[in-house]
Amino acid sequence: MATSLRSAILRHVRVSVQSLDRFRPSSASWGPFHNQSRNLSSHGDEHLKREEVVERVIDVVKSFPKLDPSKVTPTSHFQNDLGLDSLDNVEIVMALEEEFKLEIPDKEADKIDSCDLAIEYISNHSMAV
């Protein structure tokens, strides 16, 4: 008795499931988020690809006048491998800051002494462009 009553009530009360197509991300017409690549900050949410960072860091280091461009590799140490001194190191870090429009704090910039450290720092920096 109770079970038949329950099923009879539920048959009337239940709402059939409809697919809500308009909430699927594939439907491009709805809402402000339909374009997934839209930037939600003035800077932009896109990040540099690591290969691009490597290429540009190598370019900057190669264009430094006091070293031999053919020796530059993604892992070379500025002072040990490329024969620069500590002030040249400072100049290279400043050139990298200008290339990627960064502002690196002095203490952190002081620790960047090789290409792979620079690549690591810049590719992990959210503001590098």
Partner 1 sequence: MSASAAGYLARRSAQKERVRILYRRALKDTLNWAVHRHLFYKDADELRAKFDANKHVEDLDTIDRLINDAEATFHKFQHPDPYIVPWAPGGSKFCRNPAPPQGIEIVYDYGKEDKD
Indicate if 85 belongs to the active site. yes
Whole-number minimum distance, CB 3 to partner 1, in Å? 32
Q: Which residues contact 102 (CB under 8 A, 6 or more apart)?
A: 96, 122, 125, 127, 128
Tokens of 47: 């990040």
Q: What is the dihedral of CA 53, 77, 67, 50, to 10 degrees?
A: -10
Q: Based on CB atoms, which residue is closest to partner 1, 8 or 83?
A: 83
Q: Contact 24/99 with Cβ under 8 angstroms?
A: no
Q: Is 94 in the site for partner 1 (CB under 8 A)?
A: yes
x-or-dash pattern for partner 1, window 43-82, by CB under 8 A?
Answer: x---------------------------------------
Say how far apart CA 82 and CA 67 lie, in whole Å. Answer: 6
Shortest Cβ distance from residue 90 to partner 1 (Å)? 5
Task: Return residues touching partner 1 (CB under 8 A).
Answer: 31-32, 38, 40-43, 86-87, 89-91, 93-94, 101-103, 106-107, 109-110, 127
